[in-house]
Amino acid sequence: MSAAAAKLARQDGMTIAGAKREPTQAETEASRLGLRLTLPAQILVLFIALFPLLMQLYISLTDWSPLSGVGWWRAGELWNSFANYTDLVSDKRFWGAIWRTAIVMAVCVPAEFLLGLALATLFADNFPGKRVFYSILLMPMMVVPAVAGYMFFMLFQSGGPVNDILSVFVGGPVTIAWLSDPTLALAAVMIADIWQWTPLMFLILLAGLVGVPEDQMKAATLLGANSWQRFTTIVLPKMKTIIIIALAIRVIENFKIFDTLYIMTGGGPGVATETISVYIYKVTTQDLIWGYVAAIALAILIVLSIAAVFAMKRMAAAREA
Amino acid sequence: MKRSLPFEIFRYAAIFLALAVALVPILWMLSMAFKPIPEWSATGEALTWWPQNPTLDNFRFVFGESTSNLIVALDRTALKPILSSLLSAIFGTAIAMSAGTAAAYGLSRFGSGQNLPLALIQLRLFPPMAVMIPVMIMWAFLGLIDTWWGLALIYGIVTLPFAFWLMKTFFDDMPREIEEAALVEGCSRLRVFTRITLPMMRAPLASAALFVFILNWSDYLIALLLTTREWVTIPVYMASLSSSMTGQLYGAKAALGLIAAVPPVIMGIAIQRHLVRGLTFGALKQ
């Protein structure tokens, strides 16, 4: 029963007193139970959202750090107004990290999307072995990301298997030190990300592809449309929402990229693979300037909240469709 | 739809290439885990794709048994990190599932907590890194740093959105006739929920719990920040498997990585049917 309906029932009970007494009581019981059932989740959300955000806002306006010798509640003594935020604007390392995060996203997400879509197209109809191949192709996304990081760290060693495979094509020994070259290290972490998350695109896009009505495809074929025309005029428009959801999920998750990357390179060599999460992690644990970190984090949260509202609208549209 | 022979050839060729790319890194780790030290150390022999002398030494080593050809000794074994990973993931899943299922039912049936869907999606959108400062301060204040129960609490909150959304779509899909019949029979609504709905939803509940468990088990960043020594989880512990004497202990890392990777892969395949629903917050069903 929706809230609106419950309200309506209560109003009815008031206008026709006596006759509607019974449903009114039932409605009260229901809404009270509903409240009780949602309470734990509400408390957890408040616990992790409201209080930490206020604390973060407070600390972000100060020079407080765990080494300042006073508890965080007395951070006000180290008030620096908006200095953290103005510092942020001119922090080259921060903008460098944002830039690298953007590059990783601009390469990985489209690559994962196109590879996932291509694979999904191959799996659209039935063929022998489909189920087994499908299960195997999903395996990379289930590997613990940190373990994938250790895995790719081994693969990209100069005496490792990646170079071994390359040497077969080159015809001589290849000893590229992938993870100690700035450009190649960035390429390596992107390859690891694409390896791990193409299956997710494949999974979601295939679910969308299967939902494309077959009779429309048949009709288009009868009208003389070739497979590319069918794909662009029927399949893609039908899958629009699903594609947006898949891209949104990967953009959001890719923005957080940390585990695999941090284990493979630690953000290095130098700052060559330092994305925004790695940057915040290092400033938090090495520089310990927590007032500044709080300012960075809040700035990111505000930008992401705007994205959240946008994504939410899309998802609601998809559910209605 | 009928396909031509060239297409079928192309399809199998492309799929086999994709399978190879997906499997080679995993198989490499598998092979490393069973190699004796000379086959994986930097100074050792040339690289081989398959262990020449397969051994369980790497597994024995991470569990603290002294092995013939490993010169270093571990100051602590992998046993406690495995226990930490298990406890925090299991109890984190329990927290997320109980709060999430109850709230999902409350919203789905009684329209309570209209704010939760958006609030929980937002919770999921934020990089954990961006809220970790206050969380670290709070956890320190509550004495939860470096404990598995502290990890379990944060895991329960972080994966609550998935538990909630999955269970909400399951409840939304469930026909209500049986519940209504029980209400007419005179059952209280709470009794209907606990005695009729939940038992009927056993399979979806199990799938959602496995899904949430995989997410908790896969965490690295949170454990890295909130545990220091006593209760580090497997991925955090793995970093300590290197020494100045031998460099990276690839074999040991591969062995432990294998132990960490196997449960989620098996569980993931078991709940394949619900993966799309879980990953898209119920926006898509398979």
Nearest-angstrom CA–CA distance, B269 and B61: 30
Q: How far apart are the first and last CA of chain B?
A: 21
What's the domain count of chain A? 1
Q: Is A203 on the interface with B (CB under 8 A)?
A: yes
Contacts of B238 in chain A (CB under 8 A): 146-147, 150
Residue B241 has pLDDT above 50, yes or no: yes
pLDDT digits (tens, 9 = 90+) for B127-170: 888 888 899 999 999 999 999 999 999 999 999 999 999 999 99
Tell me, what CATH number does A198's domain have? 1.10.3720.10
Q: What are A52's two structure tokens? A: 């930490």
Nearest-angstrom CA–CA distance, B252 and B70: 10
The answer to whether A208 touches A116, Cβ cutoff 8 Å, is no
**What percentage of chain B has pLDDT greater than the value 70?**
91
Nearest-angstrom CA–CA distance, A264 and A241: 35
3-state helix, strand, coil in chain B (%, to 5): 70, 0, 30
Divide the 321 residues of chain A into consecutive groups of 10 and give the mean pLDDT of each group: 46 44 71 91 90 89 84 80 86 93 96 95 88 93 94 88 86 86 94 96 90 82 84 86 88 91 90 93 89 91 80 70 59
Cα four-point dihedral sign B266, A197, B125, B85? positive
Q: Which amino acid, one-letter code, is at B93?
A: T
Q: Which amino acid, one-letter code, is at B235?
A: P
pLDDT digits (tens, 9 = 90+) for B28-64: 999 989 988 777 765 555 677 788 888 888 888 888 7
Q: Is A29 on the interface with B (CB under 8 A)?
A: yes
Give the range of the structural domain holding residue A254, as residue numbers without chain letter: 99-288
What phi and psi, each to the nearest 5 degrees, are found at residue B36? -75, 165
- Of the ranges A76-80, B162-166, B259-263, B265-269, which one carries the lowest mean pLDDT score? A76-80
3-class DSSP assignment, residue B227:
coil
Q: What are B203's two structure tokens? A: 């399979």
- A181 lies in some domain: yes
Bridge partners of B242? B248
Q: Which amino acid, one-letter code, is at A145?
A: P
Residue B226 has pLDDT above 80, yes or no: yes
- A202 lies in some domain: yes
Q: Is A52 on the interface with B (CB under 8 A)?
A: yes
- A155 lies in some domain: yes
- A250 lies in some domain: yes
- A220 lies in some domain: yes
Which residue does chain B place closest to A158, by CA atoms?
Answer: B42
pTM of the predicted model as reported, rounded to 2 decimal places = 0.88
User: Would you give the distance in Å from CA B254 to the centre of its chain?
Assistant: 18
How do beta strands B242-243 and B247-248 pair? Answer: antiparallel
- A23 lies in some domain: no
Using a 10 angstrom Cβ sphere, with 0-12 exposed, 13-18 middle and 19 or more buried, the burial of residue A53 is middle
Q: What is the mean pLDDT of residues B108-123?
A: 86
Q: What is the mean pLDDT of residues B249-262?
A: 90
Amino acid B277: pLDDT: 83
Q: What are B279's two structure tokens? A: 């990953």
Using a 10 angstrom Cβ sphere, with 0-12 exposed, 13-18 middle and 19 or more buried, the burial of residue B285 is middle
Amino acid B223: pLDDT: 94
Residue B96 has pLDDT above 90, yes or no: yes
List the single residue in B29, B264, B284 with the smallest CB-CB distance to A242: B284
User: Would you give the distance in Å from CA B149 to the centre of its chain?
Assistant: 17
Does the beta-carbon distance from A38 to B129 stay under 8 Å? no
The answer to whether B145 touches B227, Cβ cutoff 8 Å, is yes
Q: List C-alpha distances in Å: B244 to A220, B184, B248, B264.
A: 66, 72, 8, 32
Q: Is A46 on the interface with B (CB under 8 A)?
A: no
Amino acid A14: pLDDT: 43
ipTM confidence: 0.90
Q: What are A192's two structure tokens? A: 């690891």
> Of all helices (H) and strands (E), which one includes residue B243?
strand B242-243
List the single residue in B29, B126, B189 with the smallest CB-CB distance to A151: B29
Residue B203 has pLDDT above 70, yes or no: yes
- A46 lies in some domain: no
- A271 lies in some domain: yes
Q: What are B5's two structure tokens? A: 């022979």
Nearest-angstrom CA–CA distance, A114 and A124: 15
Q: Is B204 on the interface with A (CB under 8 A)?
A: no
